[in-house]
């Protein structure tokens, strides 16, 4: 795209119109875009004028992008997390990452749809659904869970309805939809990208990440948005741990398959791989064999320390500590307190709204039960049978039970909270670092993991550590899955180097990304229940 704009065969305005046309062709099927930016073409025209005058801000100059609808923009668009309760509210400023992208010359195309409140409100719901945006669907199979909660960001890029997109992750919400839409998803260390201006879940785990069809695309976006921001004190910790943007940022670490002769990857088999289904396992093991044939060294059984305790054997479960009988070892113990406090802080800066607290949101959902499903759709009776309540909506099967759990904490950071915070962070950091260092004379290049096994990004999320997922293969129903790399804090350069080398190695081999085939595009299931990633 940059080459075409540089040689004059394409303008940013024309490029934006191409994506507008593509969105209009696809959005009635996949609902990836929640709202267009009415200023899009004027922004593109200004950037075209700059190019004509000899000023090109960088590789993103004139490139349109979307962002998840929990990322604030101070313009003529809404920022609502998919919930009508925040319609008309006015944010004080652009989110820091949006200001950075504008400065880099990217064009704000619109807001991507998402799971309402980034999946925080319920424990049993339809992934990718919000009352404002409807049900997001994957262009690979329109009747299968598209992944979330950054569902629209991923689905739009996968369908080529937008070039690049921004998402957010608290526990899986970048990695999961990326791998389920055959994309590169880059979730940075917590604090590498500022969360200022992002509707929060947990200050201890929230991270702003990027989606692209290639590692290069995702990394160029990351280069625009990383950096310290006084409005997010977590971002200040990165100083001294990141490359200078003037030296080339993270893009300088992009590599080819020839670099794999210097790579040593670990496979945490008992920690994660044993939970991978046979269909994926066959493809991923074959892919790993291909990497070995190109010179990469693979060490099996590089296990997460104490994985028997901290890794759920029954799929993704952010309340696994409580499941084991130890709420003081549970991620959800932390998140539900953080959300109560963090959302109040965010709402306090808004103008033109009466929504000021979690209680206000809960009350709104009850008052608008027909559309918001504040009450459970079913309850379980004494015979362990689901009984319809006559209230709620099927998209939010359990109503707003996670909101209520958060509300019940009153935001009190008690002893149980601090014990849970210490346990989840310390055990996972120690566990991943052990896997990276204890099985080789030098630190591993990264841990190769199957990201469709949700426990992978759950452990990384608790540790605040970065991950990248790369398209790897497809199920028989057409849905994609990925191969992911896990690393330690501030080790994004390693993920860029080895992620791009793996991507290059599998290009043209039958592994990796292919265009979506819009399977079952004529079908439109009512819901796709999924207790999923946040």
Residues forming the active site: 68, 149, 173
CB of 35 within 8 A of CB of 78? yes
Q: Which residue has the tokens 């790579």?
A: 263
Q: In what order do the strands lie in the sheet with 480-486?
A: 33-36, 107-112, 64-68, 164-169, 207-212, 184-187, 467-474, 480-486, 446-449, 264-267, 297-300
Cβ contact 72:198 at 8 Å: yes
Strand partners, 482: 471
Verify cis geometry, omega within 30 degrees of 0, for the bond prior to 149.
yes
With CA atoms as reference, report the closest residue to 263 among 491, 447, 18, 59: 447
Q: Which residue has the tokens 């958060």?
A: 406
CA-based angle 512:515:518, to the nearest 5?
A: 130
What are 146's two structure tokens? 């598209």
Q: Give the closest residue to 513 by CA, choosing from 250, 139, 65, 171.
A: 139
**DSSP output for 302-329:** -PPTTHHHHS-TTS--TTHHHHTT-GGG
Residues of 459-490 as b/e, b for ≥16 C-beta within 10 angstroms? Answer: bbbbbbbbbbbbbbbbbeebbbbbbbbbbbbb
Q: Is 470 helix (H, G, I), strand (E, B) or coil?
A: strand
Q: For 7-104, where are the E strands, in sequence order? A: 33-36, 64-68
52: CB partners within 8 A, 6+ apart = none
* Residue 494 tokens, joined: 């390693």
DSSP 345-413: HHHHT-BS----SHHHHHHHHHHTHHHH--S-SEEE-TTS-EEE-S-S-GGGTTTTHHHHHHHHHTT--
- Determine the Cα–Cα distance for residues 526 and 524; give it in Å rounded to an integer: 6
CA atoms of 493 and 446, how far apart (whole Å): 11
Dist CA 259 CA 392 (whole Å): 54
| Contact present, 181 and 160 (Cβ < 8 Å) | no
Q: Please calculate the CA angle 409-415-421 and round it to the nearest 5 degrees.
A: 85
């Amino acid at each position: 795209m940059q080459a075409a704009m540089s040689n004059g065969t394409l303008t940013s305005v024309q490029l934006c119109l191409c994506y507008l046309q593509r969105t209009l062709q696809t959005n009635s099927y996949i609902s990836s875009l929640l709202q267009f930016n009415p200023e899009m073409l004027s922004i593109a025209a200004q950037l075209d004028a700059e190019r004509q005058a000899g000023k090109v801000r960088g590789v993103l100059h004139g490139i349109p992008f979307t962002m998840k609808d929990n990322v604030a923009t101070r313009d003529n668009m809404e920022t609502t997390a998919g919930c009508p309760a925040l319609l008309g509210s006015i944010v004080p400023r652009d989110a820091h990452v949006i200001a950075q992208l504008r400065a880099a010359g990217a064009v704000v195309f619109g807001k991507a749809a998402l799971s309402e409140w980034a999946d925080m409100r319920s424990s049993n719901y339809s992934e990718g659904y919000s009352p404002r945006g409807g049900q997001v669907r994957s262009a690979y199979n329109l009747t299968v869970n598209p992944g979330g909660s950054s569902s629209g960001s991923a689905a739009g890029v996968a369908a080529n309805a937008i070039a690049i997109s921004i998402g957010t992750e608290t526990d899986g919400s970048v990695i999961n939809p990326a791998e389920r839409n055959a994309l590169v998803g880059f979730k940075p260390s917590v604090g590498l990208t500022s969360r200022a201006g992002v509707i929060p879940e947990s200050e201890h785990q929230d991270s702003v990440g990027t989606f692209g069809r290639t590692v290069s695309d995702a990394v160029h976006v990351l280069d625009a948005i990383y950096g310290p921001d006084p409005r997010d004190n977590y971002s200040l910790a990165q100083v001294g741990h990141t490359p200078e943007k003037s030296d080339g940022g993270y893009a300088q670490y992009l590599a080819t398959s020839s670099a794999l002769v210097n790579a040593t990857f670990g496979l945490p088999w008992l920690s994660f791989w044993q939970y991978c289904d046979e269909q994926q396992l066959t493809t991923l093991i074959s892919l790993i064999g291909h990497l070995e044939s190109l010179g990469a060294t693979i060490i099996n059984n590089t296990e997460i320390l104490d994985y028997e305790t901290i890794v759920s054997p029954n799929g993704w479960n952010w309340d696994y500590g409580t499941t084991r009988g130890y709420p003081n070892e549970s991620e959800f113990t932390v998140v539900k307190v953080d959300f109560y406090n963090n959302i109040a802080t965010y709402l306090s800066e808004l103008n033109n709204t009466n929504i000021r607290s979690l209680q206000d949101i809960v009350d709104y959902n009850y008052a608008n039960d027909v559309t918001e499903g504040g009450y459970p759709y079913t309850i379980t009776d004494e015979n362990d049978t689901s009984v319809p309540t006559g209230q709620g909506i099927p998209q939010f099967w359990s109503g707003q039970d996670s909101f209520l759990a958060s509300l019940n904490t009153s935001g009190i950071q008690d002893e149980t909270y601090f014990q849970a915070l210490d346990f989840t962070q310390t055990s996972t950091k120690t566990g991943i670092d052990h896997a990276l260092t204890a099985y080789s004379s030098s630190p591993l290049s990264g841990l190769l993991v199957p990201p469709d096994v949700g426990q992978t990004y759950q452990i990384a999320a608790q540790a605040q550590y970065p991950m990248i997922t790369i398209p790897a293969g497809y199920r028989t129903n057409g849905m994609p899955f990925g191969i992911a790399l896990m690393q330690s804090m501030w080790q994004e350069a390693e993920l860029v180097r080895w992620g791009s080398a793996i991507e290059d190695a599998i290009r043209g081999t039958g592994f990796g990304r292919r265009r979506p085939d819009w399977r079952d595009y004529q079908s439109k299931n009512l819901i796709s229940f999924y207790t999923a990633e946040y």
